Chain A
């Protein structure tokens, strides 16, 4: 690949954003998606603690299998899973290398493996839960759990703005590129190119800040011109926002089933 190609690739945020947006916007129809957000959040809190109660490898492996199945069912992006796997492996390796100088790397690995598994289980359950919940569902779940509306609102707002912001930022970087000069020689590992692009992407934030500031002002005015502050203390409005959320037998089965699985694993293995 020539330097030119790589410069194009890095700069073509199009492909990457499209990819990321697919991850962010395509979460309908997965298994966990159908569950009530409150149950799912509660389940998540429970599974933040469960792995820490065990030290045995087989129990942890069984838990890992369980959350992995959930992750597959909720169609977690393979890309994200790969990143996670990579970071787990490199993390262990780096400890092994450093311990080789300070002590016994084999013993260290043995001690660290269960810990790493626990962290992995939690990470996978995070992925499963949050990539299957649409931001709207999550916002409703949090609202019903008492998080103030101003903050649950920004989740939905972020969902709306993410592609717009990406697009706008991309255009600013492009506008800068058209008025800048590329370094004459790429340098070793093309570092001059990378430095050039990095500088552009930092500079592009200056105009971006002004654009977003103007937008925030209009947005808040427009929200109020449709009665946003009324929704903050009105019970009627709150009821409508939470309308249709109900805990169905399926939610109970999922929640209890998970706990029973943990119990069985804990007692059998």
Chain B
């Protein structure tokens, strides 16, 4: 049903300036996307990726004031001459904030919304088709707010598919979802692309997904489309990627550091394994233990008699649901956290990560069991008092911004506690964390990366001894992630322990000294990163996939596994025959 000219996009010299700003977000951007392509659009945070994609379905220029120039044609229709409503049957759009895209109470109403608006009397068939295409059968009557984030994203996708568009735009699917659901979404997109020939455009900064699923990559830089290239070629342009704060896949980075720069580097995992075997001269698969101080890694040294900072004793917790039954999130959980611990809580959504953090803030009290912080039970202490020692930085950084400037937000805690020299201490925090440029801005109007940094700063300014972080790197590009790391390391001398709930196993591997694998409200494994990441079966059971570098070192037979590209490179270089034998493979 999708003919060639129905599904191509042609952007010619597009320029866009939003009202109230002197700068053009896009300034002469041109790109051609062919029917049936699977394209990733990449670029820095705020580079105009989303603006470019919103021009495909006419939201730009029809829904924004400001100045526009150039021409966008979609399947032969000039978007300036068609309404957004007309274009909606040609281009489907799943927003980054997909939760706000859903407007109906139930799933069946939501997926029928589009076809009913367009007066298609086969809306039931369309809805059923779209739902079964995404394996969503059986949830038609559920309320949307009952669903998990991953399910909601698929419903948003299904609701767009019912209009049977030839082109589908999905904004940052991996940013808001955990890796399992992000992978699922990409699998569905790939199927739509292969089986129905749908043109698919995703905005994405996680290059591992790009390598695995996309055909070509469009880089948006300085308001223009810098280039469009096939995926292998694009991900090999390491210089350009880094310049735009995009982290190449771990496998590509490792390969690059092995020194074969003039060669085409691998971008996908399987391809990478073959490449490394080849380079390493596959005749001697290496099983010898890694040498060096890290080899016998253990949990941080601690005195058994020392009192734990935090102690969970057989804690169970349930949530009431509207359907009458209670949902168990934690099941007789025991946990001790000591001074010096940097704990990463990993596990799929609903495994209980956030609940553990919330129990530590005192905002929730355990249904059964006790939670002790410094030997004081949280159940008998007000959250405000617990906050003297514990700071919680929530997943959505915006909920940290309650004042009208970053400065006021930082000062708020000190002021409310009548502390002395509020102004001076606030100044200290601001200069210490390099926030001078942002201090007078409203937190909600910053970019995502700035928001994360500011929200961490607000937390750190409370001089906590325990820091709780909920998904601190969600939807961040490379530069912002590096900055988060820096902020954390500067968090101050009072900090004794940091607990982070995260999906980002790469971050967990590089940062934590202790990893807790949660599944179904139980701790399945607790140990130092190398031990945990080597236990691939436990991780798989908890629906987790270790970072590429861990999987690669396992494939190549390194024990213990390497946790960062540097580590793997230094290990492999020492194992590698000689440079000349390596060169003979070329």
Contacts and interface: CB of A to CB of B under 8 A. Distances in A.
A236 B120 CA distance: 8
B437 to A, nearest CB: 21
A160 B103 contact: yes
Contact of B392 (A22, A178, A220, A231): A178
Interface string B384-398: 110100011010101
A167 to B, nearest CB: 8
Nearest to B156: A222
Contacts of B418: 181
A227 B85 contact: yes
Nearest to B409: A179
B585 interface: no
Interface in A199-240: 203-204, 206-207, 210-211, 214-215, 218-231, 234-237, 239-240
Contacts of A8: 365, 382
B121 A236 contact: yes
A180 interface: yes
A115 B380 CA distance: 51
Given A157-B103, A160-B103, A178 B361 contact: yes
Interface string B138-167: 000001110000000000000110010000
Contacts of A153: 103
B363 to A, nearest CB: 5
A180 B416 contact: yes
Contacts of A203: 402
A163 B117 contact: no
A225 B109 contact: no
B473 interface: no
Interface string B177-205: 00000000000000000000000000000
B116 A231 contact: yes
Contacts, number: 170
A236 B320 CA distance: 42
Contacts of B144: 160
B59 A225 contact: yes
Given A164-B145, A224-B84, A226-B163, A175 B109 contact: no
Interface in A87-136: 135-136
Contact of B363 (A174, A180, A229): A174
A225 B93 contact: yes
B95 interface: yes
B380 to A, nearest CB: 7
Contact of A226 (B88, B458, B462): B88
B83 interface: yes
Contacts of A160: 102-105, 144-145
Contacts of B160: 225-226
A204 B400 CA distance: 11
A176 B109 contact: no
B228 interface: no
Contact of A172 (B88, B383, B387, B399): B399
Interface residues of A, number: 59
Interface in A71-95: none
A225 B322 contact: no
B88 A207 contact: no
A236 B145 contact: no
Nearest to A157: B103
B271 interface: no
Contacts of B102: 160
B20 interface: no
Interface string A156-197: 110110011001000110111111111000000000000000
Contacts of B554: none
A268 interface: no
A207 B145 contact: no
Contacts of A239: 119
B338 interface: no
Given A7-B382, A225-B57, A25 B322 contact: yes
Given A219-B100, A222-B103, A237-B116, A175 B400 contact: yes
Contacts of A180: 384, 412-413, 416
Given A178-B363, A181-B416, A226 B113 contact: yes
12 contacts: A135-B105, A136-B105, A163-B145, A172-B399, A174-B361, A181-B384, A204-B402, A219-B101, A221-B63, A224-B59, A226-B114, A231-B116
Given A160-B104, A222-B103, 11 more contacts: A153-B103, A160-B102, A171-B394, A171-B399, A175-B399, A175-B400, A176-B402, A222-B100, A225-B88, A226-B159, A235-B119
Interface of A: 4, 7-8, 14, 18, 21-22, 25-26, 135-136, 153, 156-157, 159-160, 163-164, 167, 171-172, 174-182, 203-204, 206-207, 210-211, 214-215, 218-231, 234-237, 239-241
Interface of B: 57, 59, 63, 83-86, 88-89, 92-93, 95, 97, 99-105, 109, 113-114, 116-121, 123, 143-145, 159-160, 163, 320, 322, 361, 363, 365, 380, 382-385, 387, 391-392, 394, 396, 398-404, 412-413, 416-418, 442, 444, 458, 462
- When A and B form their complex, which 10 residue pairs have the shortest distance between CB atoms, in order from nearest? A236-B119, A222-B101, A227-B117, A231-B117, A226-B114, A237-B119, A218-B100, A230-B85, A179-B413, A159-B105
